[in-house]
Amino acid sequence: MSVNTLDPLREKIQQKTVVAGVIGLGYVGLPLSLSFLRKGIRVTGFDLDSEKVEKLGRGESYIKHIGNEELSVFVEQGSFQATTDFGRLQHSDVFVICVPTPLTSTREPDLKFVVATAGTIDSSGEYDLPGNDHRGALADS
Ligand SMILES: NC(=O)c1ccc[n+]([C@@H]2O[C@H](COP(=O)([O-])OP(=O)(O)OC[C@H]3O[C@@H](n4cnc5c(N)ncnc54)[C@H](O)[C@@H]3O)[C@@H](O)[C@H]2O)c1
């Protein structure tokens, strides 16, 4: 029987024990987090903006179409945690990068925030969850 290197991750997804790390909690990252949470997948959200993180910790949304009521439930049950502590990246199994990609003067997307985030993930320390030697990252842009 052949063993696929993604099998441990697939199993975690099926068993809903996977932790999704969403990096950048703006107009893409916060609704995406809600989509995971509604499917029963735990999310740790990362952002540099401490005001946003504090609001989310109180169950307060800053995006019009996301209601506080639903967000608060996930915060209270602990399935959604927002943080500025990028050391906690090591607890996530998959990452979705949702940081800005502003246009440069030549109207090319500036990928410096994406590249910096990839570096942060790479240096996020020892993996401390069983099976975390198989992790995945996506960039949403
Ligand atoms: N908004 C849209 O409709 C839309 C549609 C398609 C694609 N996108 C793409 O999705 C990406 C995110 O867009 P958005 O609209 O959500 O942006 P946004 O500005 O609303 O949110 C980005 C968030 O990332 C945070 N951030 C910035 N640098 C960071 C870093 N190094 N680490 C962690 N957090 C960081 C910011 O504080 C902010 O909360 C961009 O590449 C954008 O082009 C956006």
Provide the strand spans (E) within 4-85: 19-23, 42-46, 80-83
**Whose C-alpha lies nearest to ligand 1, atom 27?**
99
**Residue 120, C-beta contacts closer than 8 angstroms, at least 6 positions apart:** 86, 89
How far is residue 89's CA from residue 79's CA, in Å, rounded to a whole number?
15
Q: Residue 131 is encoded by which pair of tokens?
A: 């099976």
- The ligand 1 site (C-beta within 6 Å) comprises 23-29, 46-49, 52, 98-101, 113, 116-117, 140-141
Position 31 in a domain: yes
Provide the whole-model pTM: 0.91
Confidence at 2, pLDDT banded by 50, 70, 90: low
The best mutation among 22, 23, 28, 64 to test binding of ligand 1, ranked by most ligand atoms within 8 Å of the C-beta, falls on: 28
Q: Which domain holds residue 110?
A: 10-129+133-137
Q: DSSP of 61-83, one letter per residue?
A: --STTS-HHHHHHHHHTTSEEEE
Q: What is the CATH number of the domain that holds 25?
A: 3.40.50.720
CB-side neighbour CA atoms (13 Å) of 116:
12
How far is residue 76's CA from residue 88's CA, in Å, rounded to a whole number?
19
Predicted local confidence at residue 7, as pLDDT? 84
The predicted-structure confidence for 102-128, as pLDDT tens digits, reads as follows: 999 999 999 999 999 988 888 876 544
The predicted-structure confidence for 65-109, as pLDDT tens digits, reads as follows: 999 999 999 999 999 999 999 999 989 999 999 999 999 999 999
Position 91 in a domain: yes
Q: Residue 18 is encoded by which pair of tokens?
A: 């996977």
Structural domain count of the chain: 1
Q: Residue 128 is encoded by which pair of tokens?
A: 């401390």
How far is residue 140's CA from residue 101's CA, in Å, rounded to a whole number?
10
With vertex at residue 54, the alpha carbon angle to CA 109 and CA 78, rounded to the nearest 5 degrees, is: 100
How remote is the CA of residue 58 from the centroid of ligand 1, in Å? Answer: 21
The best mutation among 51, 53, 99, 121 to test binding of ligand 1, ranked by most ligand atoms within 8 Å of the C-beta, falls on: 99
Position 5 in a domain: no
How remote is the CA of residue 3 from the centroid of ligand 1, in Å? Answer: 36
> How much is the average pLDDT of 26-54?
97
Q: Residue 74 is encoded by which pair of tokens?
A: 């996930």
**Whose C-alpha lies nearest to ligand 1, atom 9?**
141
Question: Per-residue pLDDT for 1 more than 80?
Answer: no
Position 4 in a domain: no
Q: Which of 75, 78, 77, 120 is nearest to 95 (CA)?
A: 120
